Amino acid sequence: MGEGQRQPNKMENQVAQALFNSTPQMAKTRILLVDDHDVVRKGLTFLLKRITQTEVVGEATDGHQAVELAEKLAPAVVLMDIAMPVLNGIDAAARILKRHPETAAGRLYAAIEA
């Protein structure tokens, strides 16, 4: 690492592995984006579409929508905000993991807002 750069933490390594460790023959990593801010969801969708190994399969604006969409879409990765209306990201993550531990285990992440 160069001067001033830090080593990625365990969660960052897991996200990178889930997103980038696929071969062209493998299916794309299916991602569900969850954030109550439209600009954040649209920006992440734009960026993730540029990565050939990923596919954004859905977007949700709150935790309830996230739980419903995770049930319908079976994403491999859920990128979710913590602070959201209706149902927060922590409670939504718990519900998703309870219903789908085989698809979400180790691949459900919540970002802390600064």
The pair of three-digit structure tokens given for residue 81, joined into one six-digit string? 């905000």
Cα–Cα distance for residue pair 80/66, rounded to 1 Å: 8
**Which amino acid would we find at residue 64?**
H
Cα–Cα distance for residue pair 73/60, rounded to 1 Å: 12
Domain boundaries, the chain: 28-111
Cα–Cα distance for residue pair 32/44, rounded to 1 Å: 11
Assign domain 28-111 one CATH number from 2.60.40.10, 3.40.640.10, 3.40.50.2300, 3.40.190.10: 3.40.50.2300
Cα–Cα distance for residue pair 28/65, rounded to 1 Å: 23
Per DSSP, the three-state class of 95 is helix
Give pLDDT, residue 5: 63
Q: What is the pLDDT along the chain (114 residues), one digit of tens a residue?
A: 556 666 666 665 666 666 556 555 568 889 999 999 999 999 999 999 898 889 999 999 999 999 999 999 999 888 988 888 899 988 998 899 888 876 553 444 555 454
